Amino acid sequence: MVSAHPLQLATATAMTECALLRISKSEMVRALNQQPELSEMFVSFLLARNARIQADLVDQLFNSSEKRLARILLLLAQFGKDSKPETVVPKISQEILAEMIGTTRSE
């Protein structure tokens, strides 16, 4: 764990098949110090993640659940990205979508 938090603050669920690698804090710090390209990529990721979290908070505070759902669907589709669109359609239940937008599933 890179952060100083001793407790797990969140969970992650893979939407497609993937491989994971667990790396110790000391090894990550060493790699960041010795590999400038990795360090730059990691800092860019952290900045983008913080911007996304801030946008999520603003979205939650000021937008209706319908607008939040539309935003999440556009994010999942990677709408507006420079890269070539992928046709990967993850299997997401209505319950998971509701959780992602901070509401309950409508019946």
How many CB atoms are located within 10 Å of the residue 31 CB? 13
Look up the pTM and report it. 0.60
CA distances from 58 to 50, 52, 73 (A): 12, 10, 17
The C-alpha atoms of residue 107 and residue 98 are separated, in whole angstroms, by 12
State pLDDT tens for residues 5-63.
677 777 888 877 889 888 998 999 999 999 999 999 999 999 999 998 898 888 888 88
List the alpha helices (DSSP H) in the chain: 25-34, 36-62, 65-76, 94-101
Q: Give yes or no for residue 1 having a pLDDT over 50.
A: no
Q: How confident is the model at residue 2 (pLDDT cuts 50, 70, 90)?
A: low
